[in-house]
Structure 1
Amino acid sequence: MYTRYLKLNLSNRQTAFLWGARKVGKSTYLKSLYPNSIYYDLLKTDLYIKYLKQPSKFREEILALDLAKLTFPIIVDEVQKVPALLDEIHWLIENSDSYFILCGSSSRKLRAYGTNLLGGRAIKYNFYPLIYPEIQSEFNLLKIFNNGLVPSHFISNNPRKLLKAYVEDYLTNEIRAEGLVRNITAFSRFIDSTAFSSGELLNYSNIARDCSIDAKTVKEYYQILVDTLVGYLVYPYQKKISREIISSHPKFYFFDVGVANSISQNRFDNIKGSEAGRALEHYVFTELQAYVNLNDLDHRINYWRTKTGLEVDFIISTITSQPLPIEVKISSNVHKTELKGIKSFMEEHQIDKGYLVCLEDTSRKIIWGNQQINILPIEEFLTKLWNHTIFKSYWGNIH
């Protein structure tokens, strides 16, 4: 079992939501953290049907519990399956000594039913696949690309079957079962297309043509993936200085690089080539996304690209601070020509520091004038990221 990075703070009997994609380890984490808690798993058919038919029974059962059992949070897993339970939980928070951890893979269905998510009475946490601090002692890029970081996939000796089942069972059948899409055949074609456009500017019209649906439906499908926590849309950095931004189109990344590679049927024998470069960029994004969220930061992750083709993979920024550019290269020997995009961004926005993440053996620093690009091997970058060195050295106290 891996020691997970997330620290829940439920002082003063605080109720919380814990959101995360399927199988990332939410249930295992909560059972380990609260072994004495009463646990309701709505994936169990009998519980699901009982509370779907009569949600008030849940309230009545909680009210009948001994006070000693209310010492610990009551855990409700897959809460989105029975949205009406939130009204009962809301009442219990207001009128009893109970408090809850509500676990799920999507708040979309809850919002669709008009549920108010407890009117702000619950704090929100997100859970992710395994992250660098959790696997540092067994870090292996090739394994990460091929297995992904969903815990059961990462430790598997046969991840291909598990990944295939995940895509079929969770990204297609589960979304159909939740009633989020009507045309499951078109959605399956859409899923196939997403892996090939991962990390690229989204052209909704082209994807719509390939899937035989309209562009509006494509946008809706992407939003479903975002709402069910299996993907992220990354928008362009909008602070315009002199160059014209190429478009307002977002990029899309799956929540897990292994899932994306499984859909596109990429299998890596070595860390070389353009597909490995895309996978490395994808992996760095997932670490940045997890770092920002797990540390409760207000930083945004964008990309930058101009009409002339200059590009930086990730721009980290806040509303008031200078942006931090981070470029990712698969190279084990970075040449100056590969610095053109990040250097142009830094000069245009008068930024004094940037990072280039790569596969070189040792770190180095390129300085011109009062500006510097820190070239870091991937593991050194991740170590500095999770040790807070990168953000603190740039912005000071990140909290």
Structure 2
Amino acid sequence: MYTRILKPPHRKSFFLFGPRGTGKTTWLKTQFPQALYFDLLNAEVYNDLLARPHRLAQMIPETWQDWVVLDEVQRVPELLHEVHRLIESRHLYFALTGSSARKLKRGEVNLLAGRALTSFMYPLTAEELGRDFKLSHALRFGHLPLTFQEHDPKRYLESYVTTYLREEVQQEGLTRNLGAFSRFLEVASFSQAQLLNISTVARECAVHRKVAESFFSILEDLLIAARVPVFTKKAKRRMVMHSKLFFFDAGIYRALRPRGPLDTPEDIDGAALETLIFQEVRAINHYYQFGYEIFFWRTANGQEVDLVLYGPRGIIGIEIKRSARITDEMFKGLNVFMKDYPM
């Protein structure tokens, strides 16, 4: 088990969001070993609290003063009413985890505004892995914790994609057309670390553009993918308007991405490396509260910087290349960017 960088807030209730399998539950049990724990993936607990959310108060002893953990709280959003009341009336501290923000977006989270902080758990970072970090493993299998424990990490990732992604979508009733969604996942994987053209994805999936847009929203709500916007602040050149797409982990991207005889290692490994850097930057930025917003920069004529960090500490441009040799040509986009934004 690896020591995570993320630290819990001091005596303050909080939400902990993150994709399934990133280690939220393990982290909580390490940080709060004495907490009263309710696992909403447990059918008995789920059914009981779904039918009678008010029973939560009865299940917490009157004299209880330690933490209360609600794992996968998005499964019963109505519990947040009760959590809100218990924070106010009994001054309890709650840790609320979620692997989906979709149901909680429907106004329920606002009940806890100001009473619960929000934090995120991401795949393991190179810093957390220490000597166990290996670039070859990261590019093939990513950094989900179980890929370092499973005998066959490739099969685990394939199971994650087929069992979790597709079944979670089906169970949550996020779309009725599971076949189209499965095709969409494969097509979307070709957009990894690339400009996202939703119309093109829709056409290749044989669905309407609005359907493809809704599928992308599902991925974002499940915290499986993120869209990175183009950096346009005080732009001096004509910029592209499309966002970039990133699945949250290089291993998940590799598991989704079909591979055929015309694919070269550079096609897949290049996107995997850019994904790895993106997930590392996003995690470190959050854990250490650096406060950067994450963008990329690309002009209409193709000059590009892979990632741009913009925040109170300044502007950072990051160029990502997978090559045995470094040449001046690789920094062409970065040099143009630095002329527009001297750092």
- Residue pair 2:199, 2:209 contacting (<8 A) in 1 also: yes
- Given candidates 30, 36, 39, the residue that maps to 1:38 is 36
Instruction: State the shift of 1:347 in Å.
Output: 1.2
TM-score (norm 2): 0.94
- Provide, for residues 28-59 of structure 1, a one-character-per-residue CA deviation record: whole Å limited to 9, x for no partner: 11111111111000101111111111111112
Instruction: State the shift of 1:322 in Å.
Output: 4.2
SS in 2 for 1:27: helix
1:314 aligns with 2:307: yes
Deviates more, 1:178-187 or 1:110-119: 110-119
User: 2:267 corresponds to which residue?
Assistant: 274
Instruction: State the shift of 1:242 in Å.
Output: 2.9
User: 1:29 corresponds to which residue?
Assistant: 27
User: 1:373 corresponds to which residue?
Assistant: none
SS in 2 for 1:7: coil
SS in 2 for 1:120: coil
Q: How does 1:219-368 map to 2 (within 5 A)?
A: 219-246=213-240, 248-265=241-258, 273-318=266-311, 322-349=314-341, 351-352=342-343
Between the two proteins, the alignment pairs up a number of residues equal to 340
Following the alignment from structure 1 to structure 2, what is the Cα–Cα distance between the partners of residues 155 and 274?
Answer: 28
- Residue pair 1:143, 1:154 contacting (<8 A) in 2 also: no
Over 6 Å off, 4+ runs? none
- Residue pair 2:34, 2:67 contacting (<8 A) in 1 also: no
- Residue pair 1:243, 1:306 contacting (<8 A) in 2 also: yes
SS in 1 for 2:113: helix
Structure 2: runs of 5 or more not aligned = none
1:108 aligns with 2:106: no
1:200 aligns with 2:198: no
- Provide, for residues 340-381 of structure 1, a one-character-per-residue CA deviation record: whole Å limited to 9, x for no partner: 1101111122x14xxxxxxxxxxxxxxxxxxxxxxxxxxxxx
* Higher Rg of the two aligned structures: 1
- Provide, for residues 266-320 of structure 1, a one-character-per-residue CA deviation record: whole Å limited to 9, x for no partner: 69xxx962322221111101111111111223211111111211111011112x6
SS in 1 for 2:226: strand
One-letter code of the match for 2:292?
H
Instruction: State the shift of 1:153 in Å.
Output: 1.6
- Residue pair 1:110, 1:117 contacting (<8 A) in 2 also: no
Higher RCO (C-alpha 8 Å, min separation 6): 2
- Provide, for residues 140-170 of structure 1, a one-character-per-residue CA deviation record: whole Å limited to 9, x for no partner: 1111122221111233231121111100122
User: 1:122 corresponds to which residue?
Assistant: 116
- Residue pair 1:150, 1:256 contacting (<8 A) in 2 also: yes
User: 1:393 corresponds to which residue?
Assistant: none
Superposed CA RMSD in Å reads 1.8
Instruction: State the shift of 1:243 in Å.
Output: 1.7
Instruction: State the shift of 1:117 in Å.
Output: 4.5
Following the alignment from structure 2 to structure 1, what is the Cα–Cα distance between the partners of residues 33 and 285?
Answer: 29
User: 1:382 corresponds to which residue?
Assistant: none
- Residue pair 1:37, 1:73 contacting (<8 A) in 2 also: yes
Q: How does 1:45-194 map to 2 (within 5 A)?
A: 45-62=43-60, 65-67=61-63, 69-70=64-65, 72-112=66-106, 114-194=108-188
- Residue pair 2:80, 2:108 contacting (<8 A) in 1 also: no
User: 1:5 corresponds to which residue?
Assistant: 5
- Residue pair 1:302, 1:315 contacting (<8 A) in 2 also: yes
SS in 1 for 2:319: strand
- Provide, for residues 200-229 of structure 1, a one-character-per-residue CA deviation record: whole Å limited to 9, x for no partner: 101111100111111122122112211211
SS in 1 for 2:306: strand
- Residue pair 2:247, 2:253 contacting (<8 A) in 1 also: yes
- Given candidates 203, 206, 212, the residue that maps to 1:209 is 203
SS in 2 for 1:283: helix
